[in-house]
Structure 1
Amino acid sequence: MIEIKPHRIGRCRVSVPGSKSYTHRTLIAAALADGTCTVRRPLRSQDTLLTLAALEKMGATAVDRETVIEIQGQNGSFKPCADEIYLANSGTSMRLLAGVAALGQGTYTLTGTPRMYHRPIGHLLDALVQLGIDARAVDDNGCPPVRIPGGQATGGAVTINCSVSSQFLSALLLMAPCTEKGLSITVSHGPVSRPYVDMTVDILADFGIKVQRDGYTRFDVAGGQTYRAGDYTVEPDASQAGYFWGAAAITGGSVTVEGVTRASTQGDVGLARVFERMGCRVDEDEKGITVTGGKLTAVTVDMADMPDMVPTLAVVAAFAEGTTVIENVSHLKAKESDRLTATCTELGKMGVTAVAEADRLLVTGGNAHGAVIDTYDDHRMAMSFAMAGLMVPGVRINDPDCVEKSFPTFWEVWNTLYNG
């Protein structure tokens, strides 16, 4: 447990690590490439290292130099792995690897923590079955653990439901170019979190893969394409920037997150504009985005494309005047924790009225007080509620080490705010 000391931030500049989402996708693409890839500034966190370890079990050779990872690609296929591949509670690892595992040989068994076994993956398995791949949930419940047979992925037409996660679509896009016939993908529902689809398509393009698309409803990827070996750099993580912008928003301070710009395809960069609507000032230059706090007022905002930022926004809303309505977020129930319920519960402990409805979250700003915050083994809960401790005394965070999942140095970077 750690206690967050109240502090009025002045002017600060911080750097955040590489994007978790970019790192997962880039490592997988590199492992499928036709030679050696150099991946610079990858995020080294629990989740991304699980993906790297899985790829090594599937035949990729990696030399990890911390700030640089060199990966010898497998030219569109993977080697057999008789051992179970453990992915803890990394939903991104589970979903993306479940797709590309079909490019390998033998049968791959992907496992995780008890929480992972409640996170849905059935829509992706259904899509793989449409393609003639005998993918299945071990317990026949649409959730991990899963078994994915290799050697059956020839390609074809497929329809996929992405109302729960866009990662199902990203998994198909990553595997598509290495199939014989390619994939013609129709999205029947969703996708939620659309910027993550754009990110996947952009990374594919960087590796030399061509994708034809009709918005977010149709994607055609020709088969027999090759992931191109080369030198790739991971951009800073916009989702991690949000906690520092939020700290500025609620304290009236000014925080610049270096290297994060609106040019990014990461949807979470849009959180700065939400804070602007609430009364903050937002400035951008070639070095990064700066948020300066002001008098905060409630907003109504659709967060379907920024689901990971919902707890961040909810905590900031606790210090705004009025009731903030956060819409289109039902899929947060299937994250590392049930983030809608968890966020409401912990805000309630602080005396803040928060109500989760079927597809939205309502937070009414008020007189928050200190509390012991449970994190549910969810990194984003710990980092979000750290912001509240800057404004009210007595905020203590249980299991602060859960940030290892995505931002191992979070508390070190967080403490630099006290110098500004």
Structure 2
Amino acid sequence: MTITLQRSSIDKQSTITITGSKSESNRLLLLQALYPQLSIANVSNSDDSKVMKHALTTSNNVIDIHHAGTAMRFLTAFFAIQEGREVVLTGSQRMKERPIEILVEALNQLGADISYLESKGCPPLRIKGKTLTDYKVKLQANVSSQYISALLLIAPKLKNGIELTLEGKITSVPYINMTLDLLHQIGVQTSFVGQVITVQPMNEIVNPKTLTVESDWSSASYFYSIVALSEIGTEITLSSYKQNSLQGDSVLVKIYREFGVETTFAENSIALKKTSQNSSPKAFDLSNAPDIAQTIAVTCLGLGVECSLSGLHTLKIKETDRLVALKNEIEKFGAKIEITDNSLHLYQSKNIKPNPTIATYNDHRMAMAFAPLALKTSLQIEDAGVVSKSYPDFWTDLKSLGFQIKE
């Protein structure tokens, strides 16, 4: 489905309710499968979380997780410890190209039985579940924090827990801390000192509890972009968010202050308000929040602001190579952009070419990141339904703000 976004203006004051965080939901769904005493409220309605939930409850031996990278990593660890069960874990063609060898090697170090069915180092995987008694493991820490979280989530169900030594610079630390915090909330003892994480074993949750998933900060980023691209005085209220968030993307509060957007926290919501214009060049290290790189680059494009973004090495192995995809699509607006393996530099561009057609590369964030530019020019977005991966209500919510959208 290709949609056209007409050049739009939005209501000065609006309120949007955003679904639960995909990152928190998928961690908690796995923990719930290991500890049925756990209940979860405000679970994400994203495709990725639906895939995760189905995979954890199905009795099928072949499990297809489509494009869901988080599910692939977490489920690889989960099925490795399901004693007596054998599954084939597969996905889309792009998923079959995405590396998972670092995680598989770590699990096999612990005694798991995982093998590759097609290309070495990539899905599909054959996983023969068994009891893992080894507990010491080393893992390269600068590729994907999801490998680390996958091991931590199953760790309390291992006989001896886990002692995980991280090698090299640790990437996306907030996501590791999120995993550890959720473990702590269900009663698991953990420590994270220097390069070593330890998780103690825990058979069951002593006091059954319900954990409520905070709304998704990555999804909030598109509304930060909309407010940044709007007139001074524009305000959007989003729920449900908290000031002491576990999500790394909550750094949006600080980053978008540089674009003149102020965030006010209420009891269960945030109000984003455009208070000033700021066209000075921007530079951000997004090592701990790479998922908002596309949003920030497009905000800068729309504002005609020069920017340098670094810490983007994980974007090469996402739904697409996001750095190449960003370069391809930003250049359609007539802007100049340079990329390396871990950074991008967008040059100042005062005038953007109208009516481009944006390709989305099976990547939900490409569709959503470029949508706010309808405040500056009309544009088309191909395969717009891809947003269902993380935010199925995205286009409906944009219409409620005043965006003109036609299929």
- With the shorter chain as reference, the TM-score category is over 0.9
What secondary structure, in the 3-state scheme, does the structure 2 residue paired with 1:290 have? strand
241-250 vs 187-196, which deviates more? Answer: 187-196
Q: Which residue is equivalent to 1:353?
A: 336
Answer whether contact 1:38 1:231 (CA < 8 A) is retained. Answer: yes
Q: Which residue is equivalent to 1:411?
A: 395
Q: Which residue is equivalent to 2:265?
A: 284
380-389 vs 199-208, which deviates more? Answer: 199-208
**Residues 232 and 287 (structure 1 numbering): CA distance in 2 closer, same or farther, change over 3 Å?**
closer
Partners of 2:30 and 2:298 in 1: how far apart? Answer: 34
Q: Deviations over 1:73-121 (max 9, x none)?
A: xxxxxxxx5x211100100000011112111023221100000011111
The reply to whether residue 396 of structure 1 matches residue 380 of structure 2 is yes
How far off its partner does 1:140 sit?
A: 4.6
Amino acid of the residue matched to residue 418 of structure 1?
G
Q: Which residue is equivalent to 2:314?
A: 331
Which of residues 226, 230, 234 in structure 1 aligns to 2:204? 226
Partners of 2:96 and 2:329 in 1: how far apart? Answer: 24
Answer whether contact 1:130 1:158 (CA < 8 A) is retained. Answer: yes
What secondary structure, in the 3-state scheme, does the structure 2 residue paired with 1:144 have? coil
How far off its partner does 1:227 sit?
A: 4.2
Q: Deviations over 1:310-331 (max 9, x none)?
A: 1101100103344200001021
Answer whether contact 1:174 1:204 (CA < 8 A) is retained. Answer: yes
Q: Which residue is equivalent to 2:284?
A: 301
What secondary structure, in the 3-state scheme, does the structure 1 residue paired with 2:229 have? helix
Q: Which residue is equivalent to 2:52?
A: 51
Amino acid of the residue matched to residue 111 of structure 2?
G
What secondary structure, in the 3-state scheme, does the structure 1 residue paired with 2:303 have? coil
Answer whether contact 1:156 1:183 (CA < 8 A) is retained. Answer: yes
Q: Which residue is equivalent to 2:325?
A: 342
The reply to whether residue 274 of structure 1 matches residue 255 of structure 2 is yes
How far off its partner does 1:224 sit?
A: 4.3
The reply to whether residue 22 of structure 1 matches residue 38 of structure 2 is no
**Residues 14 and 224 (structure 1 numbering): CA distance in 2 closer, same or farther, change over 3 Å?**
closer
Answer whether contact 2:18 2:239 (CA < 8 A) is retained. Answer: yes
Answer whether contact 1:317 1:364 (CA < 8 A) is retained. Answer: no
Partners of 2:251 and 2:162 in 1: how far apart? Answer: 31
Partners of 1:281 and 1:289 in 2: how far apart? Answer: 10
Unaligned runs of 5+ in 1: 59-80
What secondary structure, in the 3-state scheme, does the structure 2 residue paired with 1:341 have? helix
Q: TM-score, normalised by structure 2?
A: 0.92
Partners of 1:140 and 1:7 in 2: how far apart? Answer: 47
What secondary structure, in the 3-state scheme, does the structure 1 residue paired with 2:53 have? helix
What secondary structure, in the 3-state scheme, does the structure 1 residue paired with 2:272 have? strand
The reply to whether residue 158 of structure 1 matches residue 160 of structure 2 is no
What secondary structure, in the 3-state scheme, does the structure 2 residue paired with 1:289 have? strand
How far off its partner does 1:129 sit?
A: 1.7
**Residues 292 and 368 (structure 1 numbering): CA distance in 2 closer, same or farther, change over 3 Å?**
farther
Which of residues 200, 203, 206 in structure 1 aligns to 2:182? 203
How far off its partner does 1:4 sit?
A: 1.3
Which of residues 159, 168, 177 in structure 1 aligns to 2:147? 168
What secondary structure, in the 3-state scheme, does the structure 2 residue paired with 1:43 have? coil
Q: Deviations over 1:192-217 (max 9, x none)?
A: 211111111111112221112215x2
Answer whether contact 1:30 1:227 (CA < 8 A) is retained. Answer: no
Q: Deviations over 1:339-371 (max 9, x none)?
A: 111111111111122221121011123212320
Unaligned runs of 5+ in 2: none
What secondary structure, in the 3-state scheme, does the structure 2 residue paired with 1:361 have? strand
**Runs of 4 or more off by more than 4 Å in structure 1?**
none
Partners of 2:137 and 2:376 in 1: how far apart? Answer: 50
Could you say what the CA RMSD is over the residues aligned between the two structures, in angstroms? 1.7
**Residues 135 and 190 (structure 1 numbering): CA distance in 2 closer, same or farther, change over 3 Å?**
farther
Amino acid of the residue matched to residue 241 of structure 1?
A
Q: Deviations over 1:111-144 (max 9, x none)?
A: 0000001111111011112112232332352111
Aligned length: 393
Amino acid of the residue matched to residue 127 of structure 1?
A
How far off its partner does 1:190 sit?
A: 3.5
Answer whether contact 2:165 2:197 (CA < 8 A) is retained. Answer: yes
Answer whether contact 1:256 1:288 (CA < 8 A) is retained. Answer: yes
- 1:367-406 alignment, distance < 5 Å: 367-369=351-353, 370-393=355-378, 395-406=379-390
How far off its partner does 1:37 sit?
A: 3.5
Which of residues 346, 358, 364 in structure 2 aligns to 1:363? 346
What secondary structure, in the 3-state scheme, does the structure 2 residue paired with 1:143 have? coil
Amino acid of the residue matched to residue 18 of structure 1?
G
Amino acid of the residue matched to residue 24 of structure 2?
Y
Percent identity between matched residues is 32
**Residues 262 and 354 (structure 1 numbering): CA distance in 2 closer, same or farther, change over 3 Å?**
farther
How far off its partner does 1:16 sit?
A: 0.7
Q: Which residue is equivalent to 2:121?
A: 142
Partners of 1:129 and 1:255 in 2: how far apart? Answer: 48
Partners of 1:112 and 1:150 in 2: how far apart? Answer: 19
Partners of 1:190 and 1:122 in 2: how far apart? Answer: 18
Answer whether contact 2:249 2:292 (CA < 8 A) is retained. Answer: yes
Q: Which residue is equivalent to 2:156?
A: 177
230-239 vs 90-99, which deviates more? Answer: 230-239
Q: TM-score, normalised by structure 1?
A: 0.89
Partners of 2:370 and 2:33 in 1: how far apart? Answer: 36
Partners of 1:50 and 1:227 in 2: how far apart? Answer: 25
What secondary structure, in the 3-state scheme, does the structure 2 residue paired with 1:251 have? coil
What secondary structure, in the 3-state scheme, does the structure 2 residue paired with 1:148 have? strand
Higher RCO by CA contacts (8 Å cutoff, separation 6 or greater): 2
